C-alpha cells in the first residue's frame, strides 16, 4: 500500500507534531506548568518534561518561576518562528498523508465490501481517522462508531468517541485501525481487549514485534 512509504517518517512526524502541540499551547500566553500541558494535550508527563527540556535547550521556550514552587513556560521570538515552521511542516505531512491514505482506505474498504463485510468500527482518533471516515462513505458498509483513550465523550463527526473497553460490545465485522500516529499503541490495546488479530485491519504498517507476539 502506498501509505507504507510514509512509515520511515513516522518517528519524525510524531516528534515534530508533539513539539508543535506544545509550542502552540505555550504560545497562548497562559502560565502553564508541565502538568497542565500534560493534561491539556494528553501527553505523558515524562514526555512533556523531555520535550520541554529540548525546546528550552534550543532557545524556543523560556522558563519562569511562579508561586507555590512551580514553573511556567513561555515562547521566545525564536520559538514563535519555530512554531510557524512546524505548522508548515505539519501541513505538508498531512497533505502527503491525505493523498496516500485516501487511496489506500478506498482500496481497503473496496476489498472488504467485495468479501461481504457490511460493518466496521474504527479505533483511534486523529486526522487519518477523518480520512478513513470520508473514504468509507463511498461504500455500503455501516459505521458502528469509534473508540479511543482520549477524548472519550467528545464527538467524531456525529458520533460519540467511546472508550476502548466498549469495543467488545460492538458487533462489527472488522475493527479498522484509523490512527496513523498511534497505530502500534492501538493494535496492542485491541489485542488486550480480546480482539483477535484476524479481525483487525489497517492500512498502516504495525510493528512486526506486536504482530509476531500474537500469532
The answer as to whether 74 is a domain residue is: yes
Is the predicted pLDDT of residue 5 greater than 60, yes or no? no
Residue 98 lies in a domain: no
Can you give the CATH number for the domain in which 147 is found? 3.40.50.720
Q: What is the reported pLDDT for 32?
A: 80
- Tell whether 188 is covered by a domain: yes
Which range (29-33, 55-59, 122-126, 200-204) has the least confidence? 29-33
Percent of the chain with pLDDT strictly greater than 90: 46
Q: How confident is the model at residue 73 (pLDDT cuts 50, 70, 90)?
A: confident
Last residue of a domain, one of 85, 101, 129: 85
Same domain for 133 and 184? yes
pLDDT of residue 9: 46
Whether 77 and 150 share a structural domain: no
* CATH number of the structural domain spanning residue 57: 1.10.10.10
pLDDT tens sequence across 75-122: 999 999 998 888 877 777 767 778 888 999 999 999 999 999 999 999
The answer on 203 and 133 residing in a single domain is yes
Torsion angle of alpha carbons 167, 179, 197, 204, nearest 10°? 160
Q: What is the pTM of this model?
A: 0.64
* Residue 191 covered by a domain: yes
Nearest CA among 6, 8, 19 for reference residue 86: 19
Q: Are residues 159 and 74 in the same domain?
A: no
- Give how many domains the chain has, as a whole number: 2
Which residue, chain included where needed, has cell 522558563? 63
User: Which range marks the domain in which residue 43 is found?
Assistant: 2-85
Residue 116: exposure state from Cβ atoms within 10 A (0-12, 13-18, ≥19) = exposed
Of 66, 85, 104, the residue that ends a domain is 85
Alpha helices, H only, 32-171: 34-41, 45-57, 77-114, 127-136
Alpha-carbon Rg for the chain in angstroms: 19
Same domain, 77 and 147: no
- Same domain assignment for residues 78 and 128: no
Residue 42 sits in the same domain as residue 129: no
51 and 136 fall within a common domain? no
CA distance 189 to 82: 34
110 belongs to a structural domain: no
Amino acid at each position: 500500500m502506498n501509505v507504507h512509504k510514509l512509515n520511515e517518517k513516522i518517528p519524525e512526524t510524531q516528534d515534530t507534531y508533539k513539539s508543535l502541540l506544545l509550542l502552540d499551547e505555550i504560545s497562548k500566553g497562559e502560565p502553564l506548568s508541565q502538568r497542565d500541558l500534560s493534561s491539556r494535550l494528553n501527553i505523558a508527563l515524562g514526555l512533556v518534561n523531555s520535550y520541554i527540556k529540548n525546546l528550552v535547550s534550543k532557545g524556543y521556550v523560556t522558563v519562569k518561576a511562579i508561586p507555590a514552587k512551580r514553573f511556567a513556560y513561555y515562547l521566545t521570538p525564536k520559538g514563535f518562528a519555530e512554531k510557524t515552521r512546524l505548522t508548515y511542516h505539519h501541513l505538508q505531512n498531512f497533505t502527503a498523508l491525505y493523498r496516500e491514505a485516501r487511496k489506500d482506505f478506498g482500496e481497503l474498504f473496496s476489498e472488504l465490501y467485495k468479501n461481504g463485510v457490511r460493518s466496521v468500527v474504527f479505533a483511534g482518533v486523529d486526522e487519518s481517522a477523518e480520512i478513513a471516515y470520508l473514504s468509507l462513505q463511498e461504500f455500503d458498509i455501516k459505521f458502528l462508531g469509534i473508540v479511543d483513550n482520549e477524548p472519550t465523550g467528545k464527538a467524531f463527526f456525529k458520533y460519540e468517541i467511546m472508550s476502548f473497553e466498549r469495543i467488545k460490545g460492538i458487533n462489527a465485522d472488522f475493527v479498522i485501525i484509523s490512527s496513523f500516529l498511534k497505530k502500534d499503541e492501538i493494535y496492542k490495546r485491541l489485542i488486550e481487549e480480546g480482539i483477535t488479530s484476524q479481525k483487525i485491519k489497517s492500512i498502516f504498517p504495525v510493528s512486526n514485534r506486536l504482530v509476531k507476539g500474537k500469532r
